[in-house]
């Protein structure tokens, strides 16, 4: 079996050490248009399908795991998707330090690490603090699309979202089904297809910034 040689396409990857202040999305994508961010891009399945379906939208993926990041960069580069970029960094810190306020149209958060052990719950990305960070980055009317297979994590997501709804910061909206979702799928990622074979359900939630 031949090992696939992964290339680092500089037209795709953004190097964290080169960042200074807030990003200029128009400079990054070469045009002025909608910008959407995926937190936890895995092998890039969503970014490829969505990037191909919406060429006028800029998609920025954030992935921490180096093996997945390298695979996704290579995959996106081979597809020659000029509207998709990827960065390997800590998502919460990146949003706080480098994403402009009211500069993002939508966030995608699909099958985030559930950190199932109770002592690790504080590591879960979707929490009150990170929701506040995402809302600061969103334009008025911007949205957040979330999917998970983990029941306990989804209960936490509902609780955090419910508090934000009660405070008048967001409202619940229908889940935006991505372009790559096949019949019977909600998202269309590798994780969903794997979990579906195992009989796991997918829970979804979507919010809009008020």
Q: Give catalytic residues, as residue numbers.
A: 113
Contact 143, 107 (CB under 8 A): yes
Nearest CA to 94 out of 14, 11, 205 is that of 14
Q: Which two tokens stand for residue 174?
A: 């229908």
Q: What is the DSSP string of 158-180?
A: HHHHHHHHHTTSEEEE-----TT
Nearest CA to 133 out of 157, 97, 162 is that of 97
Helix 91-98 and helix 128-137, axial crossing angle in degrees, nearest 10: 40
Give the list of residues 6+ apart from residue 101 with CB closer than 8 angstroms, or none: 136, 137
Helix 128-137 and helix 151-166, axial crossing angle in degrees, nearest 10: 60
Nearest CA to 125 out of 117, 116, 115 is that of 115
User: Please, which residues bridge with residue 59 across strands?
Assistant: 36, 84
Tokens 């800590």 sit on residue: 90
């Amino acid at each position: 079996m031949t090992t696939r040689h992964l290339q680092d396409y500089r037209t795709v990857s953004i190097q964290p050490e080169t960042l200074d202040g807030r990003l200029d999305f128009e400079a990054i994508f070469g045009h002025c248009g909608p910008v959407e961010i995926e937190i936890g891009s895995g092998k890039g399945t969503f970014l490829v399908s969505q990037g191909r379906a919406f060429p006028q939208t800029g998609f920025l993926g954030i992935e921490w795991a180096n093996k997945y990041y390298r695979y996704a960069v290579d995959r996106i580069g081979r597809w020659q998707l000029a509207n998709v970029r990827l960065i390997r960094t800590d998502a919460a810190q990146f949003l706080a330090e480098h994403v402009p306020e009211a500069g993002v149209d939508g966030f995608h958060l699909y099958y985030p690490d559930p950190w199932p052990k109770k002592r690790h719950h504080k590591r879960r990305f979707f929490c009150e603090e990170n929701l506040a960070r995402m809302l600061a980055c969103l334009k008025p009317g911007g949205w957040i699309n979330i999917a998970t297979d983990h029941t306990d994590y989804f209960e936490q997501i509902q609780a955090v979202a419910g508090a934000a709804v009660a405070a008048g910061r967001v409202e619940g909206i229908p889940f935006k089904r991505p372009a790559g979702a096949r019949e019977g799928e909600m998202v269309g990622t590798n994780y969903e297809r794997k979990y579906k074979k195992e009989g796991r359900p997918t829970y979804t939630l979507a919010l809009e910034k008020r």
